[in-house]
């Protein structure tokens, strides 16, 4: 029988710790496929976040390092500058990149660091219990906004990709979503382009923001969470290329 679909080699064959319907596993797979398609597995080094994807190194069969919450772009800077032939990517949640690590990502982009950032925006701090993140949308109920996020009390959702897109050192910024098979295919194209730029030696930072479901802390079924990305998240975080 002809094999039409199989696990890509960079994705390890192991049980997942993610909740049913979580986007992290899909994002891992896309990254693994891109690494295999670009044939860069032996020279890629990933940076795992603090967050639900803290165990990303259990799934991705490339060299990986774990760094403190939010500090991935700073560590990636050192790794790339000392190992320019390596392909360096960070994998960061929205709590990681858009809260505690805001300064790191802005300055890494501003310095035009030649790194690739995969930014998983699920609109909550997942690992710590579903608290509000800077990316939580208005009206969204979280553990710390039981009546829904309200601009007067908690401010507006932070659109980090739009902020980064004004910096000349950010050469490619695209926002995509894991809300349907078609969107997942587009997300893979964006991730591939971001890695390709680094492989080609492009002089700056590439970032792909991925709107990703967290059914557990959105308190929805996995199917409803996919729909909620399109109905609520994309209104605040429109999809598409912001730079490059
Ligand atoms: C310096 C530091 N501050 C706070 C924490 C607690 N902490 C662990 S994970 C996390 C948030 C994770 O949210 P996010 O980055 O969005 O990842 P997700 O779990 O949603 O994928 C926080 C605040 C920590 N581990 N280290
Ligand atoms: S809490 Fe949310 S982000 Fe974390 S593993 Fe579960 S579904 Fe995924
Ligand atoms: Mg998150």
Residues with CB under 6 A from ligand 2: 18-19, 22, 24, 52, 122, 126, 214-217
Give residues whose Cβ lies within 5 Å of ion ligand 3: 93-95, 122, 126
Q: Express each pLDDT in 186-239 by its tens digit.
A: 999 999 999 999 999 999 999 999 999 999 999 999 999 999 999 999 999 999
Full-model pTM: 0.98
Q: Encode pLDDT of 87-106 as tens digits.
A: 999 999 999 999 999 999 99
| Ligand 2 centre distance from Cα of residue 65 (Å) | 21
- Report whether pLDDT(1) > 90: no
- Residue of 16, 18, 56, 93 to mutate, ligand 1, most atoms within 8 A of C-beta: 93
Tell me how far the alpha carbon of residue 20 lies from the centroid of ligand 2, in angstroms. 8
Per-residue three-class SS string for the chain? CCCCCCCCCCECCCCCCCCCCCHHHHHHHHHHHHHHHHCCHHHEEEEECCCHHHHHHHHECCEEEECCCCCHHHHHHHHHHHCCCCEEEEEEEHHHHHHHCHHHHHHHHHCCCCCEEEEEECCEECCCCCEECCCCCCCCCECCECCCCCHHHHCCCCCHHHHHCCCCCEEEEEEEECCCHHHHHHHHHHHHHHHHHHHCCCCCEEEEEEECCCHHHHCCCHHHHHHHHHHHHHHHCCCEEEEC
- Mean pLDDT, the chain, rounded, equals 98
């Amino acid at each position: 029988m002809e094999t039409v679909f199989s696990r890509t080699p960079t994705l390890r064959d192991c049980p997942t710790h993610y909740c049913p319907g979580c986007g992290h596993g899909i994002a891992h797979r896309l990254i693994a496929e891109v690494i295999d398609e670009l044939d860069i597995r032996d020279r890629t080094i990933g940076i795992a976040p603090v967050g639900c994807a803290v165990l990303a190194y259990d799934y991705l069969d490339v060299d990986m390092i774990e760094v403190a919450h939010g500090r991935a772009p700073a560590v990636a800077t050192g790794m790339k500058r000392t190992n320019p032939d390596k392909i360096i990517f960070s994998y960061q949640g929205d709590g990681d990149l858009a809260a505690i690590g805001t300064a790191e990502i802005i300055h890494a982009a501003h310095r035009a660091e030649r790194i690739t950032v995969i930014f998983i925006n699920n609109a909550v701090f997942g690992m710590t219990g579903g608290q509000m993140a800077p990316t939580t949308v208005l009206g969204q109920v979280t553990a710390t906004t039981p009546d829904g996020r309200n601009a007067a009390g908690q401010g507006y959702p932070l659109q980090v990709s739009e902020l980064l897109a004004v910096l000349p050192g950010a050469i490619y910024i695209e926002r995509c979503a894991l809300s349907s098979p078609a969107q997942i295919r587009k997300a893979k194209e964006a991730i591939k382009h971001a890695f390709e730029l680094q492989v080609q030696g492009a002089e700056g930072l590439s970032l792909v923001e991925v709107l990703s479901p967290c059914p557990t802390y959105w308190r929805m079924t996995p199917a409803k969470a996919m729909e909620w990305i399109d109905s609520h998240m994309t209104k605040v975080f429109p999809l598409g290329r912001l730079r490059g």
